[in-house]
């Protein structure tokens, strides 16, 4: 609720009846003219809707990266939903109760598009491995479908978790990288001002597989510390991309959520060094 003040001018005759202003002249843009004062006649109560809240949809929120993104979003007080083929979290963590879970397949029907209702930003963690044709579908086609649907719904920002270029190693996973790059092209086309592509390399952290917890940081953390200061090696022909430093999953999650919700976060591609830089800025 808010008060809207309605103003009206006093006529010159009423001004004259009051004897004119006693504490000086009223300013006017015209010479030799006394401006008429304003008076509050009444205050009317009107219904003013609250400012729109941010609602984030995470595609693949029950996966390794997606679950960390969900936790980061909840820590920042965002309204959160997630879409996945299973429709829920298998982690049984307490934070999962604060997520609205949607079940759907981005490759099959349009029923999943209801998950976009009221959503202001999307983060996609959808990806996978297999045959070249399967990898293109899951990394490319599925994400392209999501990007187009989000654009049609008027979503403001879309963040896509892609992958760093590993040079000749890309040929071993041709369908994977071709799908990723096709999705990136679609995102930059549909969201030229609100599309952000994160390209991490190896993402480390504690990964839950069934009842087991895999501490990937044991390997990833030392490598990250060493390789983040060896950026020139990344420029070597053929083998250079293999020196791309790993990045912590927490850093990816922090930057992804910021990119999805901060209207001044620059659109475009953010490589692993950019992810590290933005994450360090947020930690200060």
pLDDT by residue (tens digit) across 102-124? 999 999 878 799 999 999 999 99
Q: Specify the pLDDT at position 245.
A: 77
* Residue found under tokens 């001002």: 193
Q: Which residues of the chain have pLDDT under 70?
A: 1-52, 89-91, 168-169, 205-243, 284
Alpha-carbon gap, residue 226 to 243, rounded angstroms: 10
Q: Specify the pLDDT at position 38.
A: 39
Identify the CATH number of the domain defined by range 55-232+246-281: 3.40.50.720
Q: Specify the pLDDT at position 39.
A: 43
Alpha-carbon gap, residue 156 to 130, rounded angstroms: 32
Q: What is the residue extent of each domain of the chain?
A: 55-232+246-281
Residue 165: closest CA among 149, 178, 151: 178
Span 239-282, pLDDT tens digits: 445 557 788 999 999 999 999 999 999 999 999 989 999 998 88
């Amino acid at each position: 609720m808010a008060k809207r003040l309605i103003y009206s001018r006093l006529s010159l005759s009423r001004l004259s009846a009051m004897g004119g202003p006693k504490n000086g002249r009223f300013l006017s843009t015209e010479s030799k003219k006394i401006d008429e004062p304003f008076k509050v006649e009444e205050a009317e109560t009107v219904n003013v809707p609250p400012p729109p809240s941010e609602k984030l949809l995470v595609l693949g929120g029950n996966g390794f990266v997606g679950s960390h993104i969900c936790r980061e979003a909840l820590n920042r007080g965002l309204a959160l939903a997630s879409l996945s083929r299973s429709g829920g979290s298998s982690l049984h963590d307490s934070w999962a109760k604060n997520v609205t879970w949607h079940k759907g397949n981005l490759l099959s029907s349009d029923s999943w598009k209801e998950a976009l209702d009221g959503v202001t930003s999307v983060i996609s963690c959808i990806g996978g491995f297999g045959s070249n044709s399967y990898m293109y579908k899951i990394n490319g086609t599925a994400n392209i479908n999501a990007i187009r649907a989000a654009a049609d719904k008027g979503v403001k920002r879309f963040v896509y978790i892609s992958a760093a270029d590993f040079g000749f190693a890309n040929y071993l996973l041709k369908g994977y990288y071709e799908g990723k790059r096709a999705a990136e092209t679609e995102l930059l086309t549909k969201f030229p001002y609100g599309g952000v592509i994160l390209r991490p390399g190896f993402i480390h952290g504690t990964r839950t597989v069934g009842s087991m917890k895999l501490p990937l940081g044991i390997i990833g953390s030392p490598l990250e510390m060493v390789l983040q200061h060896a950026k020139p090696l990344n420029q070597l022909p053929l083998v250079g991309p293999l020196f791309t430093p790993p990045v912590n999953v927490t850093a990816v999650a922090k930057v992804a959520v910021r990119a999805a919700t901060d209207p001044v976060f620059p659109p475009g591609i953010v490589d692993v060094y950019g992810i590290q830089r933005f994450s360090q800025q947020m930690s200060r």
